[in-house]
C-alpha cells in the first residue's frame, strides 16, 4: 500500500515536471531498487576552483586620491562550493559515480554549479583482496572572474579592467588577459586502489 501511495506522489511530480504519465508501481519498484543500491560516498565544501579564489583575497592598492582598495571583500563568500557524490552499484563489480556541486558566488567572481559523473570497476584478486579503478569528470562548474569599470580620467577615460590589476602599469585592455577562468573538467580524476582484508 505504501509503495503505491509513494508511486502516486512520484507520478504526480513526474507529470508536473515532464508531462508524461507512464509511472506505475512497477516503475516505482525499479526506482526503489535504484535507491537501495545508491550510497553517499562524499560530501564536502570547497573545490580547487574555490581554493583558487581564496588566493585572490590577499592584497590591494591605493587609488589616485589615496583611498585604500582591498581585494578581500571582492573574493569573500558566505557559501563555498559544496559537492555531494553518490555511488550507484550496477553489479558487484562496477558502479556509477554521480553527483552535484552547488557553485559559489562573490562580488567579483562566480563558480557555476556542476554535474559530476564517472565509473568505478572492481576486480576481485582473491577472497581477501581486490583492485579498483575509478574515473570521473565534471560538466559545468566554470569559475569566471568579473571585470571592473575604472575611470582613468582625461588620459584613458572609462574602461573595463581586471579589478586586481587596475592600478598596475599594464594597459587596461591587457589586464583582461589575466582574469581567472577555470573549467571544472580540470578537476577530473582517475584513481587506482588496492584493498586487502585481514
What are the extents of the domains in the chain? 1-36, 38-196
The whole-number pLDDT of residue 9 equals 40
The whole-number pLDDT of residue 33 equals 72
The whole-number pLDDT of residue 107 equals 96
Instruction: Please indicate, yes or no, whether the overall pTM of this predicted structure exceeds 0.85.
Output: no
The whole-number pLDDT of residue 4 equals 43
Provide block-wise average pLDDT over 10 residues at a time, the chain (198 residues).
Answer: 40 43 57 80 94 94 88 95 95 94 97 97 91 96 95 84 93 95 93 90
The whole-number pLDDT of residue 24 equals 57
The whole-number pLDDT of residue 20 equals 47
Transcribe the chain into DSSP letters.
-HHHHHHHHHHHHHHHHH------HHHHHHHHHHHHTEEEEEEEE--HHHHHHHHTTS-EEE-TTS-EEESGGGG--SS--EEEEEEEESSSSEEEEEEEE--EEETTEEE--EEEEEEEEEEE-SSSEEEEEEEEEEEE--EEEPEEEEE-HHHH-EEEEEGGGTTSSS-HHHHGGG--EE-GGGG-EEEEEEEE--
Amino acid at each position: 500500500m505504501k509503495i503505491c501511495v509513494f508511486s502516486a506522489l512520484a507520478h504526480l511530480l513526474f507529470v508536473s515536471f515532464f508531462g508524461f504519465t507512464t509511472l506505475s508501481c512497477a516503475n516505482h519498484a525499479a526506482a526503489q531498487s535504484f535507491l537501495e543500491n545508491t550510497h553517499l560516498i562524499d560530501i564536502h565544501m570547497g573545490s580547487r576552483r574555490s581554493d583558487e579564489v581564496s588566493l585572490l583575497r590577499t592584497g590591494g592598492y591605493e587609488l589616485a586620491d589615496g583611498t585604500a582598495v582591498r581585494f578581500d571583500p571582492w573574493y569573500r563568500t558566505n557559501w563555498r562550493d559544496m559537492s555531494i557524490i553518490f555511488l550507484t552499484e550496477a553489479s558487484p563489480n562496477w558502479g556509477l559515480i554521480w553527483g552535484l556541486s552547488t557553485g559559489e558566488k562573490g562580488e567579483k567572481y562566480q563558480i557555476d554549479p556542476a554535474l559530476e559523473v564517472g565509473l568505478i570497476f572492481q576486480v576481485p584478486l582473491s577472497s581477501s583482496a581486490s583492485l579498483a579503478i575509478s574515473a570521473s569528470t565534471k560538466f559545468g562548474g566554470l569559475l569566471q572572474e568579473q571585470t571592473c569599470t575604472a575611470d582613468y580620467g582625461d588620459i584613458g577615460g572609462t574602461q573595463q579592467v581586471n579589478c586586481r590589476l587596475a592600478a598596475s602599469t599594464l594597459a587596461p585592455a591587457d589586464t583582461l588577459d589575466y582574469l581567472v577562468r577555470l573549467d571544472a573538467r580540470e578537476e577530473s580524476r582517475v584513481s587506482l586502489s588496492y584493498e586487502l582484508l585481514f
